[in-house]
């Protein structure tokens, strides 16, 4: 019927120190944000990071900051589909509350007593929802509350140094930084908790309150009509939740429960790998480490219908970015494409739009292409990555390849000849260079690349020698060297 504050089990130890209390409860309040930051950037899966249970509805916080719910919705308490940036949720009898990452609060559902009047709240670090009231813990340790106040459950304005809040049927409890607890509301023995010390988490039930101690033991006060405070023998507990019954999460991921079991809400003995528990009026919900959810108890309004949450859609592979490519005619272009599958599924690679002469090794993910001297232009090659998940998912990556125009080797020779004859050199020098280029042309016609390269290298050395002797200027010589070097690059095998 109300919210139990979130807790996560620490598998290494439950022996918390008093100085750690504030950090512990901040984690309880902001666990969704921490989990979201730690997750993959891929958000295709609606993995659940926190759960809460109301009177007859169940709410889940997703890793992307969205909220979804199942169960009773006559007052719109499940109409949370438009919520974003939520880091914590709370569920009352007929309303749902969400804490946003900026410290503001949103709420949906029945507003009979003003329990949704949270629009002006700010600097909130945790929210709790009672039957018909809503409570917010501010970052300075003070508390605000709205809604029904028939029993004084809103009289929290004098509270200070609070590090965690919880709301019951008609009472509100706050945990102080020194490990003591305060309470207001329905004046029953449920609130006689003034002697509690060394408490690290509190949970308010319908007519009782339970407190978790650093050593993993639990204390309880209040009505005990169905054994809801029979918690003294519990050990290794790391989180508690309560309504008409009480639930404890153990450090090993198992769960214990006591109280009314009229609808099977205590049938949790086979649960394992649980990281958070929530207690509704007549149902119990558990969040597993893999983000799936289990639930037992009364299902008259569909509040146990969480199976759909556990179907994790297969996320497609994600390509690592490689950018567009530039290459010149005659040059070899090689690169690999790599995709990562979020679930670790096997990936099959494919390609379409390969230019003439290009190849793609799907096993090595290697693209190879040496454009010829008639392929200048732009080419779009589309790579695909398909996983073997259910259903199989596909991702494509487009790579734009731009091929620069380069003169063919014969054109390069002609350009060299033109350059030699246009520089105004002495006839003897011109004839010497042209003789060398004639040899290069002869070697090229015979497909003798290495001799042609050697002859071009000799020509470059002669040009440098002539520059050093002052026969030609450095500018004239460099023009020849650049042309000859470009041709050597074209003729050199890739």
- pLDDT recorded at residue 46: 56
The band of 329, judged by pLDDT with boundaries at 50, 70 and 90, is confident
pLDDT > 80? residue 161 = yes
Q: What is the mean pLDDT of the chain?
A: 88
Using an 8 Å Cβ cutoff, are 219 and 210 in contact? Answer: yes
Using an 8 Å Cβ cutoff, are 165 and 137 in contact? Answer: yes
Higher pLDDT, 460 or 33: 460
pLDDT > 90? residue 483 = no
Over residues 197-217, the mean pLDDT reads 97
Percent above pLDDT 70 for the chain: 89
> pLDDT tens, 401-414?
999 987 777 887 88
- pLDDT recorded at residue 34: 37
Non-local (6+) Cβ contacts of 173 within 8 A are: 165, 166, 167, 181, 182, 183, 191, 193, 202, 204, 209
pLDDT > 50? residue 13 = no
Weakest mean pLDDT among 52-61, 303-312, 345-354, 369-378: 303-312
Higher pLDDT, 259 or 429: 259
Residue linked to tokens 């070697």 = 443
CA distance 272 to 457: 76
DSSP of 204-259: E-SSEEEEE-TTS-EEEEE--TTSTT--TT--SEEEEEESSEEEEEETTS-EEEEE
The band of 42, judged by pLDDT with boundaries at 50, 70 and 90, is very low
Over residues 424-428, the mean pLDDT reads 87
> pLDDT tens, 440-467?
888 888 888 899 899 999 999 999 999 9
Question: Max CA-CA distance within the chain?
Answer: 118
- Of 143-157, 306-320, 436-450, highest mean pLDDT: 143-157
SS3 call for 480: helix
The band of 27, judged by pLDDT with boundaries at 50, 70 and 90, is very low
DSSP character at residue 20: G
Q: How many helices (H) and strands (E) in the chain?
A: 5, 30
Non-local (6+) Cβ contacts of 93 within 8 A are: 1, 2, 54, 55, 110, 130, 131, 132, 281
Cα dihedral across residues 419, 425, 430, 432: positive or negative: negative
Over residues 134-162, the mean pLDDT reads 97
Weakest mean pLDDT among 138-142, 280-284, 325-329, 423-427: 423-427
CA distance 46 to 66: 9
> pLDDT tens, 247-282?
999 999 999 999 999 999 999 999 999 999 999 999
pLDDT > 60? residue 40 = no
Using an 8 Å Cβ cutoff, are 413 and 338 in contact? Answer: no
Weakest mean pLDDT among 160-164, 218-222, 226-230, 417-421: 417-421
pLDDT > 90? residue 103 = yes
Give the CA count within 13 Å in the CB-facing half-sphere of 388: 6
Residue linked to tokens 């219908």 = 305
Contacts 24+ apart (CB under 8 A), 254-261: 255/284, 255/286, 257/284, 258/227, 258/228, 258/229, 258/230, 258/231, 259/205, 259/226, 259/227, 259/228, 259/230, 260/225, 260/226, 260/228, 261/226
Percent above pLDDT 90 for the chain: 68
pLDDT > 80? residue 23 = no
Higher pLDDT, 396 or 483: 396
Q: Which two tokens stand for residue 368?
A: 């190879």
Weakest mean pLDDT among 210-214, 382-386, 405-409: 405-409
Over residues 93-117, the mean pLDDT reads 98
pLDDT > 80? residue 37 = no
């Amino acid at each position: 019927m109300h919210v139990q504050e979130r807790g996560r089990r620490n598998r290494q130890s439950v022996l918390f120190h008093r100085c750690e209390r504030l950090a512990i409860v901040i984690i309880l309040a902001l666990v969704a944000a921490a989990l979201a930051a730690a997750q993959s950037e891929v958000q295709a899966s609606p993995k659940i990071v926190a759960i809460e249970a109301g009177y007859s509805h169940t709410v889940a916080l997703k890793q992307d900051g969205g909220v979804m719910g199942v169960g009773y919705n006559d007052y719109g308490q499940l109409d949370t589909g438009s919520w974003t940036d939520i880091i914590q949720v709370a569920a009352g009898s007929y309303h749902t509350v969400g804490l946003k990452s900026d410290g503001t609060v949103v709420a949906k559902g029945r507003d009979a007593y003003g329990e949704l009047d949270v629009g002006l709240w700010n600097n909130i670090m945790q929210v709790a929802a009672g039957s018909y009231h809503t409570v917010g813990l501010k970052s300075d340790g003070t508390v605000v509350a709205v809604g029904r106040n028939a029993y004084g459950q809103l009289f929290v304005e004098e509270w200070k140094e609070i590090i965690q809040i919880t709301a019951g049927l008609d009472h509100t409890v706050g945990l102080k930084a020194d490990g003591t607890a305060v309470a207001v509301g329905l004046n029953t023995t449920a609130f006689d908790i003034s002697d509690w010390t060394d408490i690290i988490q509190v949970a308010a039930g319908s007519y009782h309150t339970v407190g978790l101690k650093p050593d993993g033991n639990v204390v309880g006060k209040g009505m005990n009509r169905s054994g809801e405070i029979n918690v003294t023998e519990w050990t290794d507990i790391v989180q508690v939740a309560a309504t008409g019954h009480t639930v404890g999460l153990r450090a090993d991921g198992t769960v214990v429960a006591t109280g009314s079991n009229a609808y099977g809400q205590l049938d949790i003995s086979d649960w394992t790998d649980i990281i958070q528990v929530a207690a509704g009026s007549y149902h119990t919900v558990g969040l597993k480490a893999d983000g799936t959810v289990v639930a037992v108890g009364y299902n008259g309004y569909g509040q146990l219908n969480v199976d759909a949450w556990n179907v994790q859609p297969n996320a497609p592979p994600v390509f690592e970015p490689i950018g567009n490519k530039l290459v010149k005619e005659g040059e070899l272009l090689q690169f690999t494409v790599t995709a990562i599958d979020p679930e670790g599924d096997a990936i099959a690679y494919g390609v379409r739009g390969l230019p003439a002469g290009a190849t793609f090794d799907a096993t090595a993910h290697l693209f190879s292409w040496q454009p010829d001297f008639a392929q200048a232009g732009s080419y779009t090659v589309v790579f695909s990555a398909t996983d073997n998940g259910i259903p199989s998912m596909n991702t494509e990556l487009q790579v734009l390849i731009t091929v620069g125009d380069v003169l063919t080797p014969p054109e390069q020779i002609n350009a060299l000849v033109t350059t030699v004859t246009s520089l105004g050199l002495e006839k003897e020098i011109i004839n010497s260079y042209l003789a060398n280029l004639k040899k290069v042309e002869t070697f090229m016609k015979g497909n003798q690349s290495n001799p042609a390269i050697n002859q071009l290298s000799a020509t470059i050395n002669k040009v440098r020698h002539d520059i050093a002797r002052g026969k030609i200027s450095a500018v004239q010589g460099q023009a020849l060297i650049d042309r000859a070097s470009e041709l050597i690059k074209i003729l050199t095998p890739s």
